[in-house]
């Protein structure tokens, strides 16, 4: 079952999630969402995942989410680099 909840900050979102995906317009938006005392990175739990994706992927994501089985969507990716915020 998919459930959406309203959050007051990016930190609140990541505190409540194991995986957070954000589609952002540009690198400056990614920095703004991820950093600061109420940023997404501040709320990450141990083992949680934060994905910041470029806006170009949003139209593709919307097509996927419109599918009846969107709530059971799985993601497979090879991680080639990892850096701390």
- Average pLDDT across each block of 10 residues of the chain; the chain has 85 residues. List them in order: 80 92 84 91 92 73 65 48 47
Instruction: Give the pLDDT score at 42.
Output: 94
Q: CA torsion 69→73→18→55, rounded to 10°?
A: -110
Q: What is the number of residues in the chain? A: 85
Confirm whether pTM is higher than 0.75: no
């Amino acid at each position: 079952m998919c459930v959406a909840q309203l959050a007051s900050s990016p930190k609140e979102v990541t505190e409540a999630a194991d995986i957070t995906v954000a589609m952002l317009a540009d690198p400056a938006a990614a920095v703004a969402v991820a950093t600061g005392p109420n940023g997404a990175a501040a709320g990450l739990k141990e083992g949680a995942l934060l994905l910041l994706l470029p806006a170009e992927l949003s139209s593709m994501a919307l097509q996927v989410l419109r599918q009846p089985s969107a709530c059971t969507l799985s993601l497979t990716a090879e991680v080639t680099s990892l850096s701390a915020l």
